[in-house]
Amino acid sequence: MRFDVITLFPDMFNAIKDEGVIARAIKKSHLSIHTWQLRDFSNNKYKNIDDKPYGGGAGMVMQVKPIRDCIHKIKQSNPKTKVIYISPQGQPLKHKLAKELSTLGSITLLCGRYEGVDERIIEHDIDMEVSIGDYVISGGELAAMVLIDTISRQIPNVLSNADSLNDSFANNLLDHPHYTRPEVLDNQAVPEVLLSGHQANIDTWRKEQSIKKTQEKRKDLLALMQRK
Ligand code: 4G3
Cα angle, residue 47 at apex, residues 41 and 53 outer, rounded to 5°: 90
Is the dihedral angle over the CA atoms 122, 123, 124, 126 positive or is it negative?
positive
pLDDT at 228 over 60: no
170 and 74 assigned to the same domain: no
pLDDT digits (tens, 9 = 90+) for 177-194: 999 999 999 999 999 999
User: Whole-number mean pLDDT of the chain?
Assistant: 95
Lowest mean pLDDT among 81-85, 119-123, 171-175, 209-213: 171-175
28 and 118 assigned to the same domain: yes
Domain extent at residue 205: 166-227
We report the CATH number of the domain holding residue 20 as: 3.40.1280.10
pLDDT digits (tens, 9 = 90+) for 68-86: 999 999 999 999 999 999 9
CA of residue 177 to ligand 1 center, whole Å: 33
The rounded distance, in Å, linking the Cα atoms of 5 and 182 is: 45
Q: Which of 152, 178, 205 is the last residue of a domain?
A: 152
67 and 144 assigned to the same domain: yes
Cβ atoms within 10 Å of 49's Cβ, excluding its own: 24
131 and 171 assigned to the same domain: no
39 is a domain residue: yes
CA of residue 224 to ligand 1 center, whole Å: 26
Report pLDDT for 167: 63
190 is a domain residue: yes
CA of residue 79 to ligand 1 center, whole Å: 26
Q: Which of 53, 88, 129, 218 is labelled catalytic?
A: 88
**Is the minimum distance from the CB of 132 to ligand 1 under 6 angstroms?**
yes
Alpha helices per DSSP H over 7-113: 14-17, 20-27, 64-77, 95-101
16 and 39 assigned to the same domain: yes
Ligand 1, atom nearest to 135 Cα? 15
Q: Which of 104, 125, 152 is the last residue of a domain?
A: 152
Reduce the DSSP state of residue 67 to 3 states and report it. helix
pLDDT digits (tens, 9 = 90+) for 193-218: 999 999 999 999 999 999 999 999 99
48 and 135 assigned to the same domain: yes
159 is a domain residue: no
12, 67, 87, 128: residue to mutate for ligand 1 pocket, most atoms within 8 A of CB: 87
Which residue type sits at 149?
D
**CA distances (Å), 86 to each of 169, 205, 222, in order?**
22, 39, 28
Half-sphere exposure of 218 (CA within 13 A, CB side): 14
Q: Which of 40, 119, 167, 208 is labelled catalytic?
A: 167
We report the CATH number of the domain holding residue 171 as: 1.10.1270.20
203 is a domain residue: yes
Q: Atom 10 in ligand 1: which residue has the minimum CA distance?
A: 116
Domains: count for the chain = 2
122 and 71 assigned to the same domain: yes
130 and 104 assigned to the same domain: yes
CA of residue 135 to ligand 1 center, whole Å: 8
83 is a domain residue: yes
Q: Which pTM does this prediction carry?
A: 0.95
Q: Which of 95, 118, 152 is the last residue of a domain?
A: 152
pLDDT at 168 over 90: no
173 and 66 assigned to the same domain: no
**End-to-end CA, the chain:** 30
Query: What is the pLDDT averaged over residues 112-132?
Result: 96
31 and 100 assigned to the same domain: yes
pLDDT band for position 166 (50/70/90)?
low
Is 167 known to be catalytic? Answer: yes
33 and 70 assigned to the same domain: yes
Report pLDDT for 223: 84
Query: What is the pLDDT averaged over residues 96-125?
Result: 97
pLDDT at 92 over 80: yes
DSSP state, residue 193: G
69 and 176 assigned to the same domain: no
